[in-house]
Amino acid sequence: MLEGKNVLLGVCGSIAAYKSAALVRLLVKAGADVQVVMTPDSTNFITPLTLSTLSKNPVYHEYFKPETGEWNNHVELGLWADIMLIAPASANTMAKMASGLVDNLLTAVYLSAKCPVYFAPAMDLDMWKHDATQDNINQLKSFGNILIPPGNGELASGLHGEGRMAEPEEIVAFLQADIKKGLPLVNKKVLVTAGPTHEAIDPVRFISNHSSGKMGFALADELASLGADVILIAGPTVQLSKYKSIRRIDVLSAADMLDACLAHFETSDACIMCAAVADYTPTIVANKKIKKNESYFNIELKKTTDILKTLGTQKRSGQVLVGFALETNNEEDNAIEKLRKKNLDLIVLNSLNDAGAGFKNDTNKVTLIDNALNKTVFELKSKTEVARDICVKVIDLINK
| 3-state secondary structure string across 344-364 | CCEEEEEECCCCCCCCCCCEE
- 365 annotated as belonging to a binding site for a ligand: no
- 297 annotated as belonging to a binding site for a ligand: no
| 3-state secondary structure string across 235-259 | CCCCCCCCCCCCEEEECCCHHHHHH
In three-state secondary structure terms, 162 is: strand
Name the pairing type of β-strands 381-382 and 206-207. unpaired
209 is catalytic: yes
CA atoms of 159 and 168, how far apart (whole Å): 21
Total number of residues shown for the chain: 400
- 324 annotated as belonging to a binding site for a ligand: yes
- The active-site residue out of 209, 334, 343, 371 is 209
- 383 annotated as belonging to a binding site for a ligand: no
202: number of CA atoms within 13 Å, CB side? 9
- For residue 201, what is the DSSP state? S
* Range 209-239 burial, b when 16+ CB lie within 10 A, else e: eebbbbbbbbbbbbbbbbbbbbbbbbbbbeb
- 181 annotated as belonging to a binding site for a ligand: no
Query: What's the distance, Cα to Cα, between the start and end of the chain in Å?
Result: 25
What residues form the annotated binding site for CTP?
Answer: 279, 289, 324, 338, 342
What residues form the annotated binding site?
Answer: 279, 289, 324, 338, 342
Active-site residue list: 209
